[in-house]
């Protein structure tokens, strides 16, 4: 049974996730650590738990989710893995940083490209890759069917959804991703989002105004 540890990092209060199981292998998803103190906090946890990082994953490449990519990649000798469509988002990150008036991320480019249906493994744990664009052009999520949770990035939040006013965003595409990929999941499925607190599919089905107001096409 995998454990999930969330860290809140950077200017945007982004959730960075470390997932690990009884084998002590772990993966790092969306490292948002943006300075030496945040890097050290992440590294301290990994060292304390005696973990071995085996994957560096991005759900998407908006700047708040990639600040720590370079540190993690160099510290643990890991290639960056995300969807090929997110190359465009990653290459826009310098412009985003300049617009927000914050330091640039200097992330390496991905060399491993993930697509719908791929399986990411660490230890005894398997995560299924879901392609869920709309917040960004190539957004993906990581679903653990056996343990009943999903790392959803910025697709679905507690009583909200990801913004669609950034380059590559599209409201109808996002809602279709939620309808086609997330809503079919069991109500008890835990949703770990890119910002904010954990929620469940069942709670969002009953309480999320964007889902309740949407008239799904049959």
Q: What is the pLDDT of residue 61?
A: 98
Strands 156-157, 149-153: parallel, antiparallel or unpaired by DSSP?
A: unpaired
Where are the alpha helices (H) located in the chain, listed in sequence order? Answer: 36-48, 69-76, 86-91, 93-100, 171-177, 201-207, 209-213
Q: Are 35 and 44 in contact (CB under 8 A)?
A: no
Q: What is the pLDDT of residue 216?
A: 57
| Predicted confidence (pLDDT) per residue in 44-67, tens digit | 999 999 999 999 999 999 999 999
- All structural domains of the chain: 3-213 (3.60.15.10)
pLDDT, averaged in runs of 10, over the chain (218 residues): 96 98 98 98 98 98 98 98 97 94 96 98 98 98 98 98 95 97 98 98 97 72
**For residues 105 and 70, what is the distance between their CA atoms, to the nearest angstrom?**
8
Q: Which long-range contacts (CB under 8 A, 24 or more apart) does 180-187 make?
A: 181/130, 181/131, 181/132, 181/141, 182/132, 182/141, 182/150, 182/152, 182/155, 182/156, 183/211, 185/143, 185/150, 186/148
| Predicted confidence (pLDDT) per residue in 63-89, tens digit | 999 999 999 999 999 999 999 999 999
Q: What is the pLDDT of residue 218?
A: 40
Q: What is the pLDDT of residue 104?
A: 95
Q: Are 62 and 96 in contact (CB under 8 A)?
A: yes
């Amino acid at each position: 049974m995998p454990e999930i540890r969330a860290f809140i990092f950077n200017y945007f209060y982004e959730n960075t996730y470390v997932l690990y199981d009884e084998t002590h292998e772990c993966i790092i998803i969306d490292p948002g650590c943006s300075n030496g103190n945040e890097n050290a906090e992440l590294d301290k946890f990994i060292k304390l738990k005696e973990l071995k990082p085996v994957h560096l994953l991005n759900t998407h490449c908006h700047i708040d989710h990639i600040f720590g990519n370079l540190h993690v990649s160099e510290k643990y000798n890991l290639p960056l893995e995300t969807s090929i469509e997110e190359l465009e988002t990653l290459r826009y990150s310098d412009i985003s940083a300049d617009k927000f008036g914050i330091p640039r991320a200097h992330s390496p480019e991905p060399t491993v490209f993930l697509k719908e249906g791929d399986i990411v493994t660490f230890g005894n744990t398997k995560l299924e890759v879901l392609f869920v664009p709309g917040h960004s052009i190539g957004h993906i999520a990581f679903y653990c069917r056996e343990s009943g949770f999903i790392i959803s990035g910025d697709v679905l939040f507690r009583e909200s959804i990801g913004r669609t006013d950034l380059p590559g965003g599209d409201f109808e595409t996002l809602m279709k991703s939620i309808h086609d990929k997330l809503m079919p999941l069991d109500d008890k499925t835990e949703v770990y989002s890119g910002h904010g607190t954990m929620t469940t599919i069942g709670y969002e089905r009953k309480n999320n105004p964007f889902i309740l107001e949407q008239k799904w096409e049959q």
